Structure 1
């Protein structure tokens, strides 16, 4: 990697200046400061005097003429230093193939099985998906959480609290049915756990 010569100050002339006049028309000053000619080729330079390089830099817009999508693509490429990147886990998938991987102690397989069991445990039973959605709860849950949520919804949607609204009455009926289904399922699961 080529190391640039050090400048004594940021505004000091570039030590690699070609020793020619400023590229600005009509200027006879020495062109000691470089500025890129375009965003397509950042290593091709104009050489200006200090006054004209300041004017050029203040007017230069790297993103000028780019669409929003092009700017977004440029910013994304800049976050990875203009190198390609892939989502995590996509390139090494072949290394985890059962035929290629040697795991005589079954350590890696046990981890995958445990993650699958955990994902299954976090998914609500099919008969509880709709009642839990009605109550606005996620799975797994406890009976205390269900009771608290039921009381909150019953107070909010009770017809007396809503001026005798028929919509509120229908909503409360739906909430009552959902609560009964979740309560019976959790009660049955608790009885099975207690007997086992």
Structure 2
């Protein structure tokens, strides 16, 4: 402000269009300026309403839930939503699993636990099982874990699981060849 000797440590916007450009005032004068400043000055009620509605969505386009923003794009599918905390309910999760596993062969009963121990999905190849076994063996070997008994027990269960999976896969391959 002209003739003001106080330090100008407070900023105030110059206009609605240039909110990143400021006038600098002392505390007394910035309060006076802000009390007189009207963001909507010069706008009609319709323009103010349109501006407020645009601010609700941060000036971004919006559309009804379940509709695509792009024409021709697939609409919302409930199965596409990941729900690890089961907020949407168990029924939704089981439906999503059925859709996800559609066309996938059923896991043999004898392999469910061994595959879970190895962290492998069904169907699995012998090469994938070997690679997974090697990485788990390196990770849980007692020598790599200062002789930890839990690591030793975990490695034993990994060995048993891999033996079962390998026996199943090799016997299946022999049946196909014979």
TM-score range, shorter chain: 0.3 to 0.5
Q: Which has the larger radius of gyration?
A: 1
TM-score of the two chains, using structure 1 as the length reference = 0.44
Higher RCO (C-alpha under 8 Å, 6+ residues apart):
2
